[in-house]
């Protein structure tokens, strides 16, 4: 199993560690949304919010009401990626099989018709 991590850094970065095509995204709006894909499908919806009090918050959920939601172990804690001590961010950790490759895309970059 390998470990993927999602957390907020500084006041304007969202970090994704262990993904194929993304490791950090600029966060310049109150909320940002992302889709994590793998195995040929969209698997997780991630919402990131940087609060007025300087604390990062994350929500993780299914993309569609009947879509897949892998039963991989997920942990959520407060802290920092490096130390694990209490800190200003939520850290989401997902254990996935070694042979699964995931990608992440920023929904704020989608084209609007």
Summarised one tens digit per residue, pLDDT across range 65-87 is: 887 788 899 999 888 656 656 68
CB burial of 59-97 (b: ≥16 within 10 Å; e: otherwise) equals: ebeebeeeeeebeeeeeeeeeebeeeeebbbbbbbbebe
Q: 78 lies in a domain? A: yes
Average model confidence (pLDDT) for the chain?
Answer: 83
Domain count, the chain: 1
113 in any annotated domain = no
Residue 58 clears pLDDT 90, i.e. is over it: yes
Q: Which of 15-24, 69-78, 99-108 has the lowest mean pLDDT?
A: 15-24
Question: Residue 70 and residue 61: Cα distance in Å, rounded?
Answer: 11
Residue 45 is predicted with a pLDDT of 93
Domain that holds residue 87: 2-108
**36 within some domain:** yes
pTM of the model: 0.83
């Amino acid at each position: 199993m390998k470990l993927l991590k999602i957390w907020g850094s500084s006041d304007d970065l969202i970090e994704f560690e262990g993904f194929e095509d993304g490791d950090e995204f600029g966060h310049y709006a109150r909320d940002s949304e992302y889709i994590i894909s793998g195995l040929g499908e969209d698997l997780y919806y991630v919402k990131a919010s940087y609060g007025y009090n300087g604390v990062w918050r994350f929500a993780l959920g299914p993309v569609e009401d009947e879509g897949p939601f892998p039963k991989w172990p997920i942990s959520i804690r407060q802290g920092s990626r490096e130390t694990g001590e209490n800190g200003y961010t939520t850290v989401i950790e997902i254990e996935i099989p070694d042979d699964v490759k995931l990608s992440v895309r920023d929904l704020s970059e989608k084209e609007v018709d």
